[in-house]
Amino acid sequence: MNAPYRPEAAEDPVHWNLDRIVTRLRAIRGRWREGQQRDRHLGGREFPSREALREVALKLSGALFPMRLGPADLRQESEDYYVGHTLDAALYALLNEVKLELHNHARREGEAGNDPDRQAAYILQRFADALPGVREQLDTDVEAAFRGDPAARTVDEVVLCYPGLLAIIHHRLAHTLYALGAPLVARIIAEIAHSETGIDIHPGASIGNSFFIDHGTGVVIGETAVIGERVRIYQAVTLGAKRFPVGEDGGLEKGLPRHPIVEDDVVIYAGATILGRVTIGRGSSIGGNVWLTRSVPPGSHVTQAHSQHEVPNP
């Protein structure tokens, strides 16, 4: 029960009892760490920093699109200098976060023979080498958005304004890190975009070129989803799992293919939910608010209003 309000106490000095609160919080953390078999004597940070990775993602976005997502006072004659300087800072900061992830993984899994620092350096070198290819992929995504939305006046408007493009920039970066062996850092980068756009793309999802998310709020794409080229989806689309197999230890089995495969040139309209390891055939159209748990062949048109599945003529 709350203590009654006393008007005469309104001008009393405020006392937070911080020593007691800090002591209790320390005891709770200690119990949790013991239960998780965590090392209580590490000294520094144990995990990657969300704030540091937010800054990394901002710098990488600016380096990929310097005249649109870079600083306001940037001029073309200093573009290469800015890109080089920004990439150097971003990659070194990212290297530190990947090291934290890999050191934590080695401690947790008891991998004493591994060299996390060397592994992190290898990952970052490969990641840096991949950045030109990431920019080329993103150019196809920008073009897809411009061609697919009659409201888009220029490709520059797409880069500057579209939440779907912001989400896919983060995804292309995060997916590269995920594939190279830094899944926690990748997940944090993906969740930064999720918090800013309402678009939730797991970094494990494989997405082809010319991908366009229109509007975007509420889109969910699961870890093992595979999306082909020239795919367009609208807001509130879910590419999710239908069921979660349980292993012998009673926990959910991890990493199994459980999300949809969407082939090339598919359009999925707003509110559609596609669940399980089903295949949406090339060139198909999935109508708004459809609930789909089965595969459909190429060229299909699935609508919610008539609960029908129209198969194309052979």
pLDDT of the chain, 314 residues: tens digit per residue: 565 656 555 555 677 899 999 999 999 988 988 887 766 555 678 899 999 999 999 999 999 999 999 999 999 999 999 999 999 999 999 999 999 999 999 888 876 667 999 999 999 999 999 999 999 999 999 999 999 999 999 999 999 999 999 999 999 999 999 999 999 999 999 999 999 999 999 999 999 999 999 999 999 999 999 999 999 999 999 999 998 777 777 777 787 999 999 999 999 999 999 999 999 999 999 999 999 999 999 999 999 865 455 555 55
CA atoms within 13 Å, Cβ hemisphere of 85: 9
Exposure string of 258-275, with b = 16+ CB inside 10 Å and e = fewer, is bbbbbbbbbbbbbbbbbb
Determine contact, residues 235/200, Cβ cutoff 8 Å: no
Residue 241 domain-assigned?
yes
Which pLDDT does position 40 carry in this prediction?
56
- The CATH number linked to 231 is 2.160.10.10
Residue 247 domain-assigned?
yes
How many CB atoms lie under 10 A from the CB of residue 219? 26
pTM over 0.95: no
Statement to judge: residues 236 and 188 lie in one domain: no
How many CB atoms lie under 10 A from the CB of residue 194? 18
Domain end (from 198, 230, 263): 198
Total of domains in the chain: 2
State the residue range of the domain holding 144. 47-198
Domain end (from 198, 230, 246): 198
How far apart, in whole angstroms, are the C-alpha atoms of residue 152 and residue 198?
A: 20
Query: In this structure, which amino acid lies at residue 89?
Result: A
Q: Which H or E element spans position 310?
A: strand 308-310
Residue 186 domain-assigned?
yes
Transcribe 200-258 into DSSP letters: EE-TT-EE-SS-EESS-TT-EE-TT-EE-SS-EE-TT-EEE-S---B-TTSSBPPS---
Statement to judge: residues 192 and 98 lie in one domain: yes
Beta-sheet strand order (sheet of 279-280)? 206-207, 226-227, 261-262, 279-280
How far apart, in whole angstroms, are the C-alpha atoms of residue 94 and residue 185?
A: 9
Residues facing residue 281 across a β-bridge: none
Which pLDDT does position 12 carry in this prediction?
59
How far apart, in whole angstroms, are the C-alpha atoms of residue 255 and residue 224?
A: 8
Joined together, the tokens standing for residue 186 give 């990748």
Statement to judge: residues 63 and 183 lie in one domain: yes
Statement to judge: residues 87 and 136 lie in one domain: yes
Statement to judge: residues 83 and 112 lie in one domain: yes
Statement to judge: residues 87 and 173 lie in one domain: yes
- The CATH number linked to 183 is 1.10.3130.10
Residue 165 backbone class (left: φ over 0; alpha: ψ -120 to 50; beta: rest):
alpha
Statement to judge: residues 176 and 246 lie in one domain: no
Statement to judge: residues 226 and 194 lie in one domain: no
Compute and round to an integer the Cα radius of gyration of the chain.
24
Statement to judge: residues 75 and 191 lie in one domain: yes
* CA-based nearest residue to 122, from 81, 172, 181: 181
Statement to judge: residues 78 and 107 lie in one domain: yes
Domain end (from 144, 166, 198): 198
Residue 122 domain-assigned?
yes
Residue 250 domain-assigned?
yes
How far apart, in whole angstroms, are the C-alpha atoms of residue 127 and residue 88?
A: 13
- 96: CB partners within 8 A, 6+ apart: 52
Statement to judge: residues 272 and 187 lie in one domain: no
Residue 15 domain-assigned?
no
Residue 212 domain-assigned?
no
